[in-house]
Amino acid sequence: MGAMTHESAEADVGSAEPTRWQLAAALFLRWRDGDTRAMDELVRLMTPLLWHVVRAYGLDRALAEDVVQTTWLTLVRRHESITEPQAVSGWLTMVARREAWRVGKLHRRADATETESLELHLPAHESAEDTAATDERSRRLWRAVGRLSERCQRLLRIVAFEERPDYARIAQDLAMPIGSIGPTRQRCLAKLRVLLEGDGEGGYSDGD
């Protein structure tokens, strides 16, 4: 007892490869049924996604960690209020986005130097090894994304990491009308493609 082994996250959720939200739901239900170790797996499954969703809000890395932690503690403390266990993945990202938005607002008010906008345009790592490790295609994409509006960058990052984005909530967070979020996403994607083509990338749509 006491060893926190990393069990397989496979769960009986059908023969097709389960999506992340299905895995999350299965783990959450197992935890609610008394399998306390299922929570470890849920945290391992969802923390990377929460990190990227929170960072999309322009929080610095330390604040982003705090928000991810708050999100998990909120789950443990308030899990009884989750009426749809199947939607636990969306519930977690909603809590993370709300908290990131709240913390981001406080932070911006306290810090008028707009470090956020600077940070969003700088890679987190700029050492030679890191740059070398990033392939040219990835760097081209990074440059193109960096030239999009902050709003587009944020929206695309959230959508990229969430499997089933809650458009109503994102719209509210980004202060966009709900009906516009689908078109906004398409507009952001279209701009990105134009920028990629302008940077010498022909077949923008091949993702291999």
Partner 1 sequence: METEDFAADAALFARMRAMWQDVDPMPADLVDRMVATVAVEDLTREYALLTLVEASDLSAVRSETDTATLQFSDGATSVLVHVTATEAGTRRIDGWVDATALAIRLSQGEREWSTDPGEHGRFAFDDVPAGVCRLRLVVRGTDGDMRDFQTPQFEV
Rule CB under 8 A: which residues touch partner 1? 1-5, 34, 36, 39-40, 43-44, 47-48, 51-52, 55, 61, 65, 68-69, 72-73, 75-77, 123-125, 133-134, 137-138, 141-142, 145, 156-157, 159-161, 189, 192-193, 204-208
Q: Which is nearer to partner 1, 112 or 126 (CB)?
A: 126
Q: Which is nearer to partner 1, 78 or 109 (CB)?
A: 78
The amino acid at residue 199 is D
CB burial string 135-148: b at 16+ within 10 A, e below:
eeeeeebeebbeeb
CB of 5 to partner 1, least distance (A): 7
Per residue, what are the HEC states of 110-159? HCCCCHHHHHHCCCCCCCHHHHHHCCHHHHHHHHHHHCCCHHHHHHHHHH
Q: Which is nearer to partner 1, 109 or 117 (CB)?
A: 117
Q: Which is nearer to partner 1, 200 or 207 (CB)?
A: 207
CA 107/CA 136 separation, integer angstroms: 34
3-state secondary structure of 84: coil
CB of 94 to partner 1, least distance (A): 18
